[in-house]
């Protein structure tokens, strides 16, 4: 009886937390942008883009924070 009560209490607490696990195949939402920095340092958002081949590319601070091209992609 105590085990049943303990399991029920645990499930109730976890359900009340409102936590959810990420769904497979769906990316996590991007975080907030970084705070502004002083000086000439350029900091881009830390998000990534998935390419058709399954690889990922990040933003390039030397190119205005646009994403680097995907491998095998034609440069326009």
The half-sphere exposure of 47 on its side-chain side, counting CA atoms within 13 A, is 13
Predicted local confidence at residue 23, as pLDDT:
58
Residue 70's pLDDT is: 93
pLDDT at 67: 93
Give me the numbers of helices (H) and strands (E) for the chain, helices first please. 1, 3
Q: Which residues of 58-76 are buried (b: 16+ CB within 10 A; e: fewer)?
A: ebeeeeeeebbeeeeeeee
pLDDT in tens, 20-75: 555 566 777 788 887 776 677 777 888 999 999 999 999 998 888 999 999 886 66
Return the domain boundaries, the chain.
42-70
CB within 8 Å of 32: residues ≥ 6 apart: none
Residue with tokens 């645990």: 10
For residues 16 and 60, the model is more confident at 60
The pTM (predicted TM-score) of the whole model is 0.42
Per-residue confidence (pLDDT) for residue 51, from 0 to 100: 92
């Amino acid at each position: 009886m105590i085990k049943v009560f303990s399991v029920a209490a645990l499930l109730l607490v976890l359900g009340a937390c409102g936590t959810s696990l990420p769904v497979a195949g769906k990316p996590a939402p991007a975080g907030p942008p970084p705070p502004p920095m002083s000086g000439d340092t350029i900091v881009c958002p830390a998000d990534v883009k998935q390419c058709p081949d399954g690889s990922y590319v990040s933003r390039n601070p030397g190119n205005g924070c646009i994403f680097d091209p995907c491998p095998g992609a034609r440069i326009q």
